[in-house]
Structure 1
Amino acid sequence: MKKGDIGNASALYVWNGFSVFWGMSFNTSPHYHDTLQLVFDLDRTFKLKDKDSDWQEYSAAIIKDRHIHQLDSNNSIQLFLYLDKDSNYARQLSHKFLATQGINDLSKSDIRKLSHNFFKKLLVESDCESLFRGYMLILRHLINPDTTVLKDERVEKAIAIIAQSRERQLTVKEVAAQVHLSESRIRHLFKEQVGQPIQNFMLWMKIVDSLNLIVKGSKVEDTAYATGFWDASHMNRSYKTLLGVTPGAIQQLDGKVRIITCSNKNLYSIKTTILKDWNGDNPSAIIEI
């Protein structure tokens, strides 16, 4: 099987805050991601190196966002979890494991309590709910995230308003007025409790809604108007800004990788920038999933 920067992957699953896929046959050039990355080997070990260290073998590792590295799958299979760098989970993971380094070995963390069979079982699961429980169990073994915190009812109402207004150009000011808060206050509360700016949340929801149509072959212009973008140009710019790839490129990618949106609230993409060498500033290629 030929190795390369893209390798082989099955399905990409996306939730509110992270994306997941499994892959094999990777032997990458120096590159970085715009997301925090967790890698778990499902069979043996994989290899990583960065500018300051030579190849090292891992069974589980965490890699800081935008940290240049190389990965060799070592003829094994890996499970990749990508978390938005600004999410609460990513911040906690970075604080605990990446305070002084760009790559850290997770094999000695509490993740070792999860067996290889646990990770292999995730590969055969197909429904979003079962997969979500599995991935949250991984995070709980690493950082013990508190998932029981209740949101302010005004934030919950704001989320509901956004969800019910997908087909029009809703503004943050309009949302604030409907929940009887100032615009600055709803921005503060939303960022504090949801973990991302409200304007990002609104745009990501449009991205997810439109993505579900794009992968089914819907025309960009029709999809843009159906999901609340101003027009096709606005949708294209948004995809380029947030995903780094156009809707048309996503349609081509979907023939190779199944894309499953498991959340109607948000989407975090996988963006990999391939560099010519360790000191290169200009990317030689950008891979988007």
Structure 2
Amino acid sequence: MTRNPPSHPAIGSASLFLWHGRALVVGPGIDSIPHAHFAAQITVALERPFRVRLDAGSPWISTQAAIFAPNQMHQLDCGGAMLAHLFVDSPQCRQAISSVCDAGYCQGPEFSEVMAALQTARQSRLDIDAAERAAKRWLDCAVPQAVEPAALDPRISAALAWIGDHPGETVTGESLAVQAHLSESRFTHLFRQQTGLPLSRYLLWSRLLWAVEAVAGGEDLTAAAHIAGFADLAHMSRTFRGTFGVVPSELRKMTIAFKREGQ
């Protein structure tokens, strides 16, 4: 599903593709202060190299690609270059990803189809399904040891459907476990095993999806925060920045596409 902000961005502006546990951002790079966030970040240049360092005291490194582990401090100096960032939030990636300031995965021939898709996204002409395939292939190239979760158990599928049908509502492991006819401990273990995310993180990504959908539909950020079940705009801003390293006001500058479970 794709939604555009009221003022459609021009070709070459930023695009956001969002799923549970993953996000792909393509657009002009934004210079950052040293920061860290919960999701792993995989970045590649779409034209000229950018600079990166892991903290304010480290030397700058010029590179075409970089990988940042979850909670790893890092800083980008983009110089206006077009970049693509893949954010991944999963136990598998947290175990597999190490920070690499000068990553070489983009030099392999298998990355060429990913780069072609990213260049299409750069022109705001990539649909959500093609973006999802490109993101999976990108992760395979950059972190081949990251294992995808198995096919979903029907009880977990039913829980995901219930969550998706009740945006902004308070959800607990206990209430979902009752619906699945499982103990809470068994349900939360199975949920993490099946989805690749702890229930709390999945619910956080659900709120981010609902907020993005609300903004894409024309709501202001405060209304979007309440629709998505955040306590207030400050709570949503902290969560958004903690996941992606940018504030949610950046959404107003993006073409947005998102996908819920089962779509």
* Alignment TM-score, normalising by the size of structure 1: 0.68
Q: Within the alignment, does 1:107 sit opposite 2:104 as a pair?
A: yes
Would you say 1:255 and 2:252 are equivalent positions? yes
Q: 1:91 aligns with which of 91, 94, 103?
A: 94
For 2:236 and 2:213, how far apart are their aligned partners in 1? 13
Q: Which has the larger radius of gyration?
A: 1
Could you say which residue in structure 2 is the equivalent of 1:44? 48
C-alpha separation in 2, matches of 1:47 and 1:172:
43
State the alpha-carbon separation in 1 of the partners of residues 62 and 168 from structure 2: 49
Query: Deviation of residue 72 (structure 1)?
Result: 2.5
* Alignment partner of 2:64 out of 59, 62, 68: 59
CA contact (8 A) 1:40 1:78 kept: yes
Q: Partner residue of 1:271?
A: none
C-alpha distance in 2 between matches for 1:12 and 1:168? 25
The offset of 1:131, in angstroms, is 1.0
Matches within 5 A, 1:125-274: 125-144=125-144, 145-147=146-148, 149-166=150-167, 168-218=169-219, 229=229, 234-236=231-233, 238-240=235-237, 242-244=239-241, 250=248, 252-260=249-257, 262-265=258-261
Deviations 1:69-121 (A, max 9, x none): 3322255322111222xx14522541xxx2xxx43432157755323545423
More strand by share: 1
**Other structure's SS at 2:76 match:** strand
Q: Percent identity?
A: 23
CA distance in 2, matches of 1:49, 1:105: 10
Give the 3 Å change call, closer, same or farther, for CA 68–112 of structure 1 in structure 2: farther
Count of matched residue positions in the alignment of Structure 1 and Structure 2: 241
Query: Letter of the aligned partner of 2:65 in structure 1?
Result: A
Looking at structure 2, the residues matched to 167 and 74 of structure 1 have their Cα atoms a distance apart, in angstroms, of 39
* 1:237–1:182 Cα change, 3 Å: farther
Task: Tell me which residue corresponds to 1:11.
Answer: 15
1:149-181 deviations in Å (ceiling 9; x for gaps): 222332222222222333644432221111110
CA distance in structure 1 between the partners assigned to 2:29 and 2:223 by the alignment: 38
C-alpha change, 1:108 and 1:194, in structure 2 (3 Å) is: closer
- Provide the C-alpha distance between the structure 2 equivalents of 1:73 and 1:122, rounded to a whole number of angstroms: 19
Given that 1:110 and 1:142 are in contact with CA atoms closer than 8 Å, whether structure 2 keeps it comes out as no
Can you give the 5+ residue segments of structure 1 that lack an aligned partner in the other structure?
Answer: 1-7, 266-289
Q: TM-score of the superposition, structure 2-length normalised?
A: 0.74
2: CA distance between counterparts of 1:196 and 1:70?
Answer: 27
Q: Match for residue 120 of structure 1?
A: 119
* Equivalent pair of 1:111/1:138 in contact (CA under 8 Å): no
Q: Aligned partners of 1:224, 1:37: CA distance in 2, in Å?
A: 24
Contact 1:19 1:81 in 2 (8 A): yes
Whether the aligned pair in 2 keeps the contact of 1:122 and 1:134 (CA below 8 Å) is no
Aligned amino acid, residue 179 of structure 1:
A
Q: Larger deviation: 129-138 or 203-212?
A: 203-212
Note if 1:35 corresponds to 2:39.
Answer: yes
